[in-house]
Amino acid sequence: MPRRTIRRLLPKPHAIREHRALRAVAARLHDPNLWHLNRHSVSVAAFIGVFTALLPIPLQMLVAALASLWARCNITIAVVLVWITNPLTMPPIFYLTYRVGTWLLGVPASVPEFELSATWIRASLGEIWLPLLVGSLVSALVCATLAWATMRVLWRLGVQLKWRARLRARREPRSPHGPG
């Protein structure tokens, strides 16, 4: 796994710990497991981030951060992965999870003509909440498990490639006069 690349892209732990808005949980943020980049921490964070992203709830980043604190995994990766559902991707993702829910429950999809407004959401929520919730939970569980497994496999492959490169480097004959 490209640990250096991930470290370069993620915010620094001290910057997050010292943020003014996080003073209430600052003591918990000193746990080194929240910032480590290892196979367990990254794969569990991927699970939490993807699972939370596919739930139709407000404050997804807060939920992912609290779940990361509880699971003691990389908090930054979990919070960043929540942005899988952003204002551009949220409508198609939640429509797809709604359709999964209707299929699982065996009910017909009866979405009135979509309109992006609070009025439409209030009027339609009574019809769509159960299929949306069931579809979101099942989709979140499946996708989060796939994210967890993918991170485990990619991490393992990265470690194996590094070991093979080290082994090849040891086997190569060295020049008695040194390089160049």
Domain residue spans of the chain:
3-88+133-171
CA nearest 3: which of 165, 154, 164, 169? 154
Q: What is the mean pLDDT of residues 133-143?
A: 95
Q: How far is CA 33 from the centre of its chain?
A: 16
Q: What is the mean pLDDT of residues 134-160?
A: 93
Instruction: Centre a 10 Å sphere on the Cβ of residue 66 and count the other Cβ atoms it contains.
Output: 17
Encode pLDDT of 7-64 as tens digits.
Answer: 666 666 666 656 665 555 555 666 666 777 788 889 999 999 999 999 998 899 989 9
* pLDDT exceeds cutoff 70 at 145: yes
Q: How far is CA 89 from the centre of its chain?
A: 15
**Distance in angstroms (rounded) separating the CA atoms of residues 56 and 178:** 61
Model confidence at 71, pLDDT cuts 50, 70, 90, reads confident
Using an 8 Å Cβ cutoff, are 57 and 85 in contact?
no
**Distance in angstroms (rounded) separating the CA atoms of residues 45 and 101:** 25
Write down how long the chain is.
180
Give the CA-trace dihedral at 119, 120, 123, 124, to 10 degrees: -150
* pLDDT exceeds cutoff 60 at 180: no
